[in-house]
Amino acid sequence: MSSQAADEHVFKALAHSRRRELLDQLKHAPQTTGMLCEAFPDIDRCTVMLHLKVLEEAGLVVAKRQGRERWNHLNALPIKHIHDRWISQYAGHALSIIDRLKSDLEG
């Protein structure tokens, strides 16, 4: 898969607020699918599974089976790639503009 196609999958996955909430749940520790379903009682198990599938396809979640349980692990590396490609370059440029503005105002 090309880098551009991978980015598209990540942006698609992050576009939905419920998927971002699922990632927030996994930020501190892996959780089983059942644990994630309990954290979101307003949606059914099938919907949670569909969201997890999108997150897996984007590489943001890695699922591992242990016996009958499926443990979901956060993989933040695709988000870091997005940050490196899109955010860090623009943030550096914005900081240089702010620094120049500050110098102009002080001078």
DSSP state of 76: -
Position 4 scores a pLDDT of 77
Q: Is the pLDDT of residue 38 over 90?
A: yes
CATH architecture of 3-75: Orthogonal Bundle (1.10)
Q: Is the pLDDT of residue 85 over 90?
A: no
Higher-confidence residue: 88 or 6?
6
Q: What is the mean pLDDT of residues 73-96?
A: 84
The token pair at 37 is 């379903």
Q: Which long-range contacts (CB under 8 A, 24 or more apart) does 83-86 make?
A: 85/7
Element (H, E) at 63: strand 61-66
Q: Which amino acid, residue 89?
A: Q
Q: Which amino acid, residue 18?
A: R
Q: Which amino acid, residue 22?
A: L
What is the reported pTM?
Answer: 0.80
Delimit the domains of the chain by residue range.
3-75
Higher-confidence residue: 59 or 5?
59
99 neighbors 105 (Cβ within 8 angstroms):
no
